[in-house]
Structure 1
Amino acid sequence: GYLAYYAKIADISASLSATLIGVLIIAFSNIYWFVLLLTFFILGGMFTKYKYKLKESMGIAEAKGGVRNYENVFSNSTAALILAIAYGIYPQHGELIIFAYLGTVATAAGDTLASEIGTTSNQRPRMITNLKPVRTGIDGGVTLLGELASIGGSAVIAILAVAFGMVDNITAALVITIAGGFLGTNIDSLLGATLQNRGLLSNSGVNFVATFIGAIISAGLYLLLF
């Protein structure tokens, strides 16, 4: 948490929140679960600053130089925290919970990378609900570059999970994590195009809901396929 603060990717509220969540995740699961979530925050911080001046000139850059606050932390990691606690309480369902965890972290990572990289695309975004061209930065707008970035972010989470020994089956890890992250990211866009654009949900609210849905998708795929 404090490293993120000094790296100027998180303010003090975010750093303290991330530290609290990290301690709880490690207590109920293990250090690797925390490292996966930390990877999301690092990737998010890095790519928020990617072509920041360009995004700032278009009026779509994250406020305060991309520094995240406690709301960003909780909206993206509450589902992960709940799943880590569930893992500690219900070890008999460990593998199912692990895949749900991978789905929620992949959704958070995929959505952030899709937003931060996709908005720099030369391609004009299209609204996810009707595929009509829209202005860059509009909630619900998607690009091919953003979709690929989402897949890339999800793949990083899957590969790390295998490297850490959280999952033995690399095929299952890649298929379920990438699918959960990709679908979760696009559900985030769908919620942005509908509920957020109507003022019914904030950006943090959308992230909160989407990360839970990403977990449910990955858990469902695990039960269905493996």
Structure 2
Amino acid sequence: MFLSHRAAAAARVIGTVGAAAALSIGAADTALACSISDFSAAAVCDAGKGVIRVTDKDASGTPATVRLYMQLSMPGGERLVDTKTIEHPTAQGVSVDLIPLDWYAGETFRVHVTAGGKVDDDIQPMTVVADETCKSSGPSSPAPATPSAHPSSASSATPTTPPSPAQSSGAAAVPGASSAPSPAGGGSGLAETGADSGTTVIAGIAAALVVWRRML
């Protein structure tokens, strides 16, 4: 009978220790289990480019796949824009950058996570692009050129276009018109010379006739 009490006590001790060990193992497994709370997402600026950065702090190291959905203006509309895989997450955190199609203030993204059959859920809340995100890192627009109030005389003067060779040759081929009036009746110097020579011939014939009469 005494041995039975000792055996019963030993059994109770062993049972208590075993239960405590089982609880400890279960708590450890629960602590290492992958869950959606291990994931976070944020709209950040990376070298002047907007990205959705997803961080996985899963201590169990379960590989995870994250998908980025852009919310459209139509009710319930969305579009898958990027997918990345986190191969070896750690308790310290491993991040991947998902690239959106565009980037403007108020744009909203849904990030969905699947990991080892343990997680199939969205990161809450949805990620929204803030007004100041990447605002200072984007390329600056060049200032518009201001026209000068006093343009230089060289730029305002109209350049003189030299005449083309065809115009020059045409101008040289046409003689200039004489400014002196033409003689009346269209006469010329040759016509006047002809009139003088005719008078001289008539005078010579008359003189010859006078000499001939005297000889008779």
TM-score by structure 2 length?
0.22
Structure with larger RCO (C-alpha < 8 A, sep 6+): 1
Rg (Cα) greater in structure: 2
**When you count strand as a share of all residues, which structure comes out higher?**
2
With the length of structure 1 as denominator, give the TM-score of the two structures: 0.22
- Greater helix proportion: 1
